[in-house]
Amino acid sequence: MAENLYEVVWPCGERRQKIQPLAKRLDTLNGKTIAQLWDFLFMGDEVFATLEEELKKKYPDVKFVSWREFGNTHTVNERELLASLPQRFKELGVDAAISAMAC
């Protein structure tokens, strides 16, 4: 009977961080500034151009800070770049961000 017993482990690891509450959602994008973050894979340049065009139709006063301002978010200095974002967002008046990555 013991031959048919197997040790089982849970495939998910232990939670190392407490769940944080989500940030308050914006009531509108009109008059807001949105940062674009991209890892330079797939076709983010085209995706962001389309997003800008479509979002401006619905929210004509929305502004964007281009992905070009931030550089590649998946690079050798990734930790430093990501750690600098809160300060950069303050400096640039960013209210929200869209982070795109390749799939």
Please, what are the averages of pLDDT over each run of 10 residues along the chain (103 residues)?
Answer: 74 81 92 95 88 97 96 88 95 94 58
Q: What is the pLDDT of residue 102?
A: 53
**What are the residue boundaries of the structural domains of the chain, listed by start?**
34-73+81-103
Global pTM value: 0.75
Q: Which two tokens stand for residue 66?
A: 């281009």
Q: What is the pLDDT of residue 77?
A: 86
Question: CB–CB of 48/38 below 8 Å?
Answer: yes
- Is the alpha carbon torsion for 40, 67, 70, 97 positive or negative? negative
Which strands sit side by side in the sheet containing 33-38, from one edge to the other? 63-65, 33-38, 96-100
Q: What is the pLDDT of residue 83?
A: 94
